[in-house]
Every structure is written in C-alpha cells, then in structure tokens.
Amino acid sequence: MSNQDFLFSADQEFQSLPDTPSAAPAAEPWLVLIVDDDESIHQITNLVLKGFQFEGRPLHLLHAYSAKAALLVLEQHRDIAVAIVDVVMESNHAGLDLVKTIRSDLKNHQIRLILRTGQPGEAPEEHVIRDYDINDYKNKTEVTAIKLKTLLYSALRAYRDICIIENNKKGLERVIASTVSFLECDSLQEFASIILGQAASLLGLEHSQIFCCAATGDPKQQQLSLDIIAASGCATGPEFQLPAEVEQKLAQVHQLKRSFHGDDYFVGYFTTNRGLENFLYVSKDSKFDQIDHHLLSYFASNIAVAYENVRLRELIKESQRELSYILGEAVEKRSKETGSHVKRVANFSYLLAIKYGLSGYDAEKIKLASPLHDVGKIAIPDYILNKPGKHDADEWAIMRTHAEVGRQILQKSQNEILQYGAVIAHEHHERWDGMGYPRGLKGEEIHIAGRITALADVFDALASERCYKPAWPMPKVMQYMHEQKGAQFDPVLTDILLSHIDEFLAIRDAFPDDSTQA
C-alpha cells in the first residue's frame, strides 16, 4: 500500500462534505507550503486541493522537497498561512528542526504548522505535541482527502484570526502613538496637520479624502454648523467648502448621533463632555474592512478629546497673551506711550528667539513675558516717568529702580510666563559689556530672555516717537545697533536683527502706533 493510498483514501461517512461557498477569487490567495521529500505527495495534494477556497480566496500551493529548501521559501514569503511538514526527510528529525527554526530563528508565530509522518515511531506523537510549537500532528495513514480539507479550514481560520488580532494590535499601537502626538500639539494648525498624517498612516492611505470637523453650538440643534479643522490636499479656512456628498453624509450622521460607514467611506461621530460634536470623514478608492472601521472609531474619539484639549490650551494661551498685553499697555499708557509698543516688542522678541535657535516653546514664553518688561514703572512717580527732558542724578536713580520693582512684583508667581517676566523685567537693562543695571551682569551672565527683550525694546523705542524725543529714521537706528553690537547688545542677536531687518520692519508695520490689533 502506497502513501497516497493512506493519504487520500475515500472517506465512507463524509463523502459529500461541501467546500465553503465560493465567492469571486480575491487578488491575494492563501499561501500554503507543502514540505515533503516524496514527489507523489505533492502531486496528489495539488489534485485534492484543486479549486479549494476559503472565504472567497483560493489556495496557492508552494512546494519544497527538503527542510533546507522549505527554509528558503519561508524566508522569501513571510505571509505563508499554513505549512504541512513531513517529519522524516533528509534526516529523521528534519521536519522537527524546521519547526524550531521557524519559531525561534524566523520569529514567525503566525504561520500554522501541521506535522505529518509515515513513520510515527521516529517522532512519537505525545513527545512532538508537548515539546514543539505546532498546531496539529497527523500520521499519513489517517489523512484522507476530506480530512485534509477539514484540516486546512481549521488552520486557515486560526491563521485568519491571529492576523486579525495582530493587525488590531498594531492598529491600536498606531492610535496610541497618534494620541501622544495630539497631546504634544501647541496649536490648532499643528493639530490639524497631525490629524491628516496620522489618519493616513493608520490605514496606509495615499490617495484619499480626509476631513476632520467640529460642530459648533448645541449638539441637539437641527441645523449643522461645522468648523473644518483639517482636510487632505487643500488648505482650510472661512471660505472652504466641503464637497456636497461629504456634507450630506455628515448631516446624516449628525441626525443619527452615531458613527456611520459604507464600503469605501467612514464617518466617525463623537461628543465630548462639554457637548462639542466631532466628525471624521475618511474615504478611499477601495473597501474598508471591519478592522479599519474599529480603528477609525477609536481614532475619531481621540481626535475629539484632543481637539477640546488643544482648544482649551489655546484659550489659556490667548488669555495669558491678552493679560500680558493689558498689563504692559497699562504701564505704557501711564507713561503716555502707545500700547502697540508692547505688541511690537513681543513679536520682535519671538522672531529673535526663533532665529537664535530657541525652541518654539521657549520662544513663545519669551513672547508672552516680554510685554511685562517695564511693569516696575508703576512704582515710578509721574513727574519722573513723564519728564520730557533729561533726568537729574536723583531722578535717574529712582527711574532705575523699576527693574528691581518689576522682578519683585512678578517673581512671587509660580506661573512660568510670569517667572520669565520677572527675569526680563530685572535684566532688560543689563548690557553685554557689563555696564548696565541693576547688577552689572556681563555677556551670557544675562539671561537670553533679558538679552532678547533688551534688543527688541531699544530697537522699537528708537524707531518710535516718545515724550522726550522724535522717532529716529531707520538708517540711524540701524547705525546705532551696529555701533552697540558687543557693547550694549548681544552681538549674535544684533547680527540676526540687522540681517533680517525686513522681517522686523514687517512686524513694525503690522502694529502701528494707532493700531487696535491684539
């Protein structure tokens, strides 16, 4: 009796067991590797499994006639679903050694491994099942045609489920990673950019439409009002219009108050604790599978929560900016100067900080704190503060105290912006050459925030009209800056200002003395 008689003998009880109902073959077949040194086994396996399908996908059989050849095939094809491996080939334990290599060296734990042997005495069943990471073990004498098919159905289902679990795991890891990115956002613009990148990365999308929207007003309202946070392939703004079919789907989801999807699109819906409605619309040229819908649902929820946090963060930042401007302007108005000075100094300082190489976060702190540089002037008497002529020695001594007073006012706060403000107020009259006040600090002993604000403050003061002087023409201002490089001012910062003067003049023009801009 030959191997093929044992392997594919007729099954008396289950002759008519039907295959899974076939669907149109998918582009990607299931890869099954047959490893056996007997040519007839390969031929009969091909014959029996001809036309076999599982979940509408056909089989593609790969063949190897030794463990060594099988290893090469496995290295070339990392997506083999099932391997049916003979135990005895070039050695009595070649199949067992191959199993160890697959699991330990190739680190392939998804492939389903089925061992079979015509010589069970060479590898006792209990020993093999106990000591090797296999999924089934059969004697060739018991593997009939119908049992082989049944075995494959079981193995392919297991492989499919493992792949689903693994894909879900990787997808959730990407969702978690995207959440970390959201938490690091400092602005809605940055947040919008991350949404598009992370949504595309999540699903491997290249040519797709992605729209992320937030509804305004009461979520119980019937009329939908949308704020488009981000859209792929174009810039959003007040004039941006959603495609009609997208807006129709969003309106439908707004009525349903739940996520909704079709074959090739997904609309996620989530409401935050504060009642803000959020929508994520994603479409692509091919079908979404169930995993995609689950991942997008999680992703949409994270977007909603993160968006609300970013909005609150921007509100707090804007409140800090407004408070800083208001305090700075109050001091300027007391000295009969325009409030635009503090706005120009703030923006000059930010630009200097960025050009100097500071992080965006530190530059933003300097921008928010620099308007407080003269807050100590509230302690200076009016007759000194607004004197049109030159101060005498006693008046000048009183005038100089505003640096220390400003530090004392701000340093008690634990707010990092006000802490920076305390440093700036205290050190913005120090000089690079050590001839400044109140402590005579020199060079890099002066905090970078103090050096930046000092340059920004003097640059604007010289170019603006004051109660004690007219505005200097710009060539004279630049000449003064050049002369004081390395003396009054940090030479590196001075070079930055002089080499990028057009950008600083643009800021000056954006905040003229009669400006009401915030």
Domain CATH number, residue 377: 1.10.3210.10
> What CATH code is carried by the domain that includes residue 134?
3.40.50.2300
Same domain, 353 and 492: yes
Residues 348 and 444 in one domain: yes
pLDDT of residue 443: 95
Q: Which of 77, 82, 95 is nearest to 38 (CA)?
A: 95
Active site residue 377: yes
| Cβ atoms within 10 Å of 458's Cβ, excluding its own | 19
Tell me, yes or no, whether 199 and 142 share the same domain: no
For residue 268, give the 3-state DSSP assignment. strand
Q: State residue 16's pLDDT score.
A: 31
CA angle at residue 47 from 44 to 50, to 5 degrees?
Answer: 145
* Domain final residue, candidates 166, 193, 210: 166
Q: Among 311, 345, 376, where does a domain finish?
A: 311
- The answer to whether residues 378 and 428 belong to one domain is yes
For residues 40 and 93, membership in a common domain is answered with yes
Per the residue annotation, which of 377, 390, 469, 485 is the catalytic one? 377
In a domain, 377, yes or no: yes
Helix (H, G, I), strand (E, B) or coil at 202: helix
Rounded mean pLDDT for each run of 10 residues along the chain, 518 residues in total:
42 35 56 94 91 90 94 92 92 90 91 84 68 85 85 92 79 62 60 65 64 57 68 63 82 83 81 73 76 72 69 69 68 60 91 94 89 86 81 90 90 85 94 95 96 95 78 93 96 96 93 59
If asked whether residues 389 and 451 sit together in one domain, one would say: yes
Residues 506 and 403 in one domain: yes
Answer yes or no: do 304 and 439 share one domain: no
Task: Compute the Cα dihedral for 493, 498, 504, 509 and give only its sign.
Answer: positive
Q: Annotate 203-243 with DSSP letters as a single string.
A: HT-SSEEEEEEEE-S-TT-SS--EEEEEETTS--STT----
**pLDDT the model gives residue 217:** 47
| Residue 228: closest CA among 178, 266, 191 | 191
Domain count, the chain: 3
If asked whether residues 100 and 206 sit together in one domain, one would say no
CB < 8 Å & 24+ apart, contacts of 257-264: 257/219, 259/297, 259/300, 261/288, 261/293, 263/287, 263/288, 264/288
Residue 247, in any domain of the structure: yes
- Please say which residue of 244, 278, 311 terminates a domain: 311
225 in the same domain as 136: no
What pLDDT sits at residue 204?
64
**By residue range, what is the domain housing residue 492?**
335-510
**What CATH number is attached to the domain comprising 197?**
3.30.450.40
Q: Are 380 and 347 in contact (CB under 8 A)?
A: no
As given in the structure block, the two tokens for residue 500 are 């990028």
Please indicate, yes or no, whether residues 402 and 355 belong to a single structural domain of this protein: yes
Whether residues 36 and 116 fall in one domain: yes
**Domain for residue 516, yes or no?**
no
110 Cβ neighbours under 8 A, 6+ residues apart: 159, 162, 163, 166
* CA–CA gap between residue 371 and residue 326 (Å, rounded): 9
- Kind and range of the H or E element at 253? helix 244-256
Q: Is residue 258 part of a domain?
A: yes
CA–CA gap between residue 462 and residue 474 (Å, rounded): 9
